[in-house]
Amino acid sequence: MLSPSKITILGSTGTIGDNTLDVIARHDHYEVIALTANTQVEKLFQQCLQYKPQSAVMVDENAATQLAEKLKQEAVEITVLSGIEGLETVSSLDEIDTVMAAIVGAAGLLPTLAAAKAGKKILLANKEALVMSGHLFMQEVHDNNATLLPIDSEHNAIFQCLPGNYAEGLERVGVNKILLTASGGPFRTMALDDLHNVTPAQAVAHPNWVMGRKISVDSASMMNKGLEVIEACWLFDTTPDMIQVVIHPQSIIHSMVSYVDGSVLAQMGNPDMRTPIAHAMAWPERIQSGVEPLDIFDVANFEFEKPDMQRFACLRLAYEAMQRGGTATTVLNAANEVAVDAFLNERIGFLQIPQIIESALTNVSIEEAVDLDCVLNADQASRLHAEELIQK
C-alpha cells in the first residue's frame, strides 16, 4: 500500500498540471498542498475550490490580487502568494514531499532548484532546469539527496528501460545507445519550400499529443527533441553521441535502450501523459492512471526514420550546443523561447527560428557555467540578442 504523499504542482493550469490533477483525483493517498499558475486566475480559482490546497501562487502580482479576492468572496481560506519568490516558497515547504515541476520555460528554473535544495521528490516536466543549468541542478539534487524522476514520456520510457543501477555508468551496465523517439511533428513530410509559409495554427496542430502552444512549436521544429537530448545527457550522465534520435510517427514506442548483447528494450503505450505522470508519482510502485491500455492488435505498423538535419536545423543546433558545453545550452534555450514567442505572435516566420538561435550561439559569449548568476546572465544576453534580430 502506498504511503500518503503531499504535493506541490508548479504550473497546475497547464497540460501537465491538468493531467497530474486527473491522476490525483483517482486516488485517496495524495494531498495537494500548493497549486501555481502564471495568469490564469479563473482556472486556478476553480482548481482551488476543487482541491482545497493550503497555498496558491500566481506569478503575476495583479492576478494574485484577483485570485485572493475571488477566494475571499467564497470564504475559502487559502494563502495566496505571488512572484518567483512565491513559487520558491511552495517548492520547499516542510510539509510537502513531492513537487511536480511543470512550468514551461526558463521561469521554472528557480522554483525547481528550490525543490532540489530542499531535498524533495521532483517530478521533472520542465526541460529548462537541466537545459539551462544541468551541472548546477544535478549537483543540488545529489548534495541534498533529492529524488529526480523524469516526466517527459521519452525520458520516463528510458528510465523504465534502464537497469536500477544505471547510475554506475551506462557503459558499465551494458548500454550501447539510447534511442530517443520523436513523432516528427506536423511538418515531417511537408515540402521544404512550403515551410516558409506555415502559420502558428499549423505548427501547434500536433498529430498525436495535446500540448501547450510553445511546446507544440518546439515539436514542429524538433527543438523539443533537441532539448530532450540535452536533458537526457544530464539525467543519465551520458554524452550526445550515445543518444540517437529516431522518428517514430505513431508515438507508441516512447523510447528504447540498446544493449551490447543485441537486446533493445522499448517502453510502449498510448500517447497520454498520464502514464509517465502516474509512473513517477507512484515509483517504485504502479497505480491506475486512467489511460486506456494499448491494444497491440490496433497498431497496424511501426515506422522509423532518421531525422533530416536540414529540415530540423533546431535539432542539429541542440546537439552542437551540448557538445560545446558551458552556457551554450542556456543561450540556445533563451534564443529559442524568444523566437518561438515571436513566431506565435506572427512577428517572424517559422524558418527564422533556427536562424535566430544560430546567430545567438555564434555571437553571444559562451562561458563556463560556474554558478547561477553566470547562467542567468547568459540567458539574458541571448534574449536581448534574439530580440534585436527580430526587431530589425
Among 287, 320, 353, the domain-final residue is: 320
Burial of 313 from C-beta contacts in 10 A (0-12 / 13-18 / 19+): buried
Rounded to 5 degrees, what angle do the CA atoms 51, 53, 54 make?
Answer: 160
What are the pLDDT digits (tens) for 43-76?
A: 999 999 999 999 999 999 999 999 999 999 999 9
Q: Are residues 89 and 160 in the same domain?
A: no
CA distance 338 to 383: 6
Residues 67 and 203 in one domain: no
Q: Give the mean pLDDT of the chain.
A: 94
User: pLDDT category, 209, cuts 50, 70, 90?
Assistant: low
The answer on 376 and 357 residing in a single domain is: yes
> Residue 210's pLDDT is what?
60
At residue 211, does pLDDT exceed 70? no
Contact 246, 180 (CB under 8 A): yes
Rounded distance, CA 295 to CA 297, Å? 5
Q: Are residues 255 and 305 in the same domain?
A: yes
pLDDT interval class at 104 (50, 70, 90): confident
- Residue 226, Cβ density class (10 Å: 0-12 exposed, 13-18 middle, ≥19 buried): buried
Strand order in the sheet with 79-82: 79-82, 55-58, 30-37, 5-10, 98-101, 121-124, 147-150
**In the chain, pLDDT over 70 holds for what percent of residues?**
98
The answer to the question of residue 100 being in a domain is yes
**Which cell is 199 given?**
502559420
Q: Which three cell numbers stand for residue 260?
A: 551490447
For position 1, what pLDDT does the model report? 64
Mean pLDDT in residue range 101-111 = 88
Burial class (CB in 10 A: 0-12, 13-18, 19+), 380: middle
Q: Could you tell me if residue 255 is inside a domain? A: yes
Residue type, 31: E
What per-residue confidence (pLDDT) applies to 37?
Answer: 96
Polymer length of the chain: 392
Query: pLDDT higher for 107 or 211?
Result: 107
Please tell me whether residues 92 and 167 are part of one structural domain: no
Assess whether 161 and 38 both reside in one domain. Answer: no
Q: What value does the mean pLDDT take over residues 378-383? A: 97
Does residue 311 lie in a domain region?
Answer: yes
Q: Which of 342, 274, 368 is nearest to 23 (CA)?
A: 274
Which structural domain, as residue segments, surrounds residue 223?
A: 153-270+298-320
- Long-range (24+ apart) CB contacts under 8 A made by 371-376 are 371/136, 372/113, 372/133, 372/136, 374/327, 375/132, 375/133, 375/136, 375/327, 375/330
Question: pLDDT tens for residues 231-286?
Answer: 999 999 999 999 999 999 988 999 999 999 999 999 999 999 999 999 999 999 99
pLDDT at residue 128 above 90? no
Interatomic CA distance for residues 349 and 347, integer angstroms: 7
Using DSSP bridges, classify how beta strands 175-182 and 55-58 pair: parallel, antiparallel or unpaired: unpaired
Indicate whether 118 and 223 sit together in one domain: no
86 plus 140 within the same structural domain? yes
Residue 348 domain flag: yes
Average pLDDT, integer, range 85-108: 94
Whether residue 163 sits in one domain with residue 99: no
pLDDT of residue 185: 84
- Is 139 contained in some domain? yes
Tell whether 118 and 259 lie within a shared domain.
Answer: no
Query: Are residues 315 and 329 part of one domain?
Result: no
d(CA 58, CA 60): 5
Last residue of a domain, one of 150, 178, 205: 150
Q: What number is the average pLDDT over the span 125-131?
A: 88
Q: What is d(CA 81, CA 102) in angstroms, rounded to the nearest whole number?
A: 18
Confidence of residue 97 (pLDDT cuts 50, 70, 90): very high
Confidence band (pLDDT; 50, 70, 90) for 13?
very high
- We report the CATH number of the domain holding residue 349 as 1.10.1740.10
User: Is residue 206 scored above 70 in pLDDT?
Assistant: no
Do 118 and 177 lie in one domain? The reply is no
13 within some domain: yes
At residue 60, the pLDDT reads 94
Determine the pLDDT at residue 72. Answer: 95
Q: For residue 390, what pLDDT is reported? A: 96
CA dihedral 146, 31, 157, 200 (to 10 degrees): -110
Helix and strand totals (H; E) in the chain: 15, 11
Query: Given this model, what pLDDT does residue 202 score?
Result: 87
Structural domain contains residue 245:
yes
How many structural domains are present in the chain? 3
Among residues 104, 128, 150, the one where a domain terminates is 150
